[in-house]
Amino acid sequence: MRSKLTLAVALLLIGSAQNAHAVCVQNDSSAAEWALWNTHGCDWNFVLWADDVYDTRSSDWSNRGYYEACNIDKEFTKFWNAAYLIHYGLSDNWDWSFHGTTDYEQASWKYDSEYHDDLYHKASDDMSFVGYWQWQFWGANSVETSCRVYNATEVQGHPAARGKTYVHEGWHGWQEQHYYSTDHINGPVGNCSASGNACDYWYWHGISAFLFGEMWKWTSDGTYFHSPNQASVEYLCDLADLPQGWVPGAVLTPAASIANLLSDQRFINGPGFHCGDWRPW
């Protein structure tokens, strides 16, 4: 018993030490990050709003730019920059979009709804994952995003991939809310080439099959259903194909690229939907 207590204390100390020495880069940002940032400068009303509706806590973000929230090289600023894209970046075209802004924001923000139970967002220095949703015994569940979606040199270190991660991890919350396993399926399997807990099914649905605001609905036979990886791809495709006119090219190009990569590699019954412009630029 005592040895277990000692071990627990040691692990706690190790965890604390890791938090004190954040490894995510806090002095650089990608071209896509800058391009989006330049459209708004620093929208302070949005920062305060996003801090609330994403439940980002000073205890998790203070050494990641929480008190320098207009410095785009900082992790916290990148966090809300991606939220800005979710809330303002889509054109919500009923004749073309898979889903609307309201779906992706409800999947990603903190509020308890049909999309998920309460959640809050924090950052992690663990480079072994992009993001993860975690059930919490006490209080809101957590969504962690790692340096993989913040560092400029990372393949997903841009706002579109980061926003996708909020939606994806929030969708694990949907699974929990509606009593589906929050695990992926172990791969490689079928058309999914990823190894370990990373594969999903793609549940094809047509355009306008879901009202905006009703992405959370489903049928038990799977005719209407979303897996987390599918929610990722559909968000990215709605962004890449149907953005607001002001969204910069440096945001859209990697959005389509990551969507199509996931579509080809993450689905057991894939490939899933292909999106993006047919022109190279």
Partner 1 sequence: MNRACRSTSGLYRYHVVAVMTGALLASCSADSLPEAPRQQQSVVARTTPPPPTPTRPAASPSPALSGAGAQARENAKAFLRWAERSAFSQREEARAQIHAAANNPDIVDALAEEARQAQQVDHSRALVAIGILGETASPRAVEHLRALLWQELPTTGQLVDGEIIERSALEMIEAKAVSGLAYIKDGAAEQEVLRAVAEHPSFHVRAEAAAFYRANHGDTAATRTALAAHVRKGEERIIDRPMRLAGDTKDTVNKKLQDYLTAHPEIIPPKPVQLPPKEKKAKVEPPADPVPTQ
> Which is closer to partner 1, CB of 2 or CB of 117?
117
> Which is closer to partner 1, CB of 2 or CB of 35?
35
> Which is closer to partner 1, CB of 133 or CB of 235?
133
Cα separation of 273 and 15, whole Å? 40
158 backbone φψ class: left, alpha, beta (φ>0; ψ -120 to 50): beta
Cα separation of 11 and 208, whole Å? 49
134 and 50 Cβ atoms separated by less than 8 Å: no
Side chain identity at residue 74, one-letter code:
K
Minimum Å gap between C-beta 158 and partner 1 is 5
From the list 253, 238, 266, the residue with the least C-alpha distance to 167 is: 238
> Which is closer to partner 1, CB of 2 or CB of 27?
27
188's enclosing H/E stretch is strand 185-189
| Cα angle, residue 51 at apex, residues 56 and 24 outer, rounded to 5° | 50
Minimum Å gap between C-beta 255 and partner 1 is 9
Minimum Å gap between C-beta 163 and partner 1 is 14
Residue 146 tokens, joined: 């790692």
Minimum Å gap between C-beta 43 and partner 1 is 4
Minimum Å gap between C-beta 35 and partner 1 is 5
Strands 119-124 and 141-146: parallel
> Which is closer to partner 1, CB of 6 or CB of 196?
196
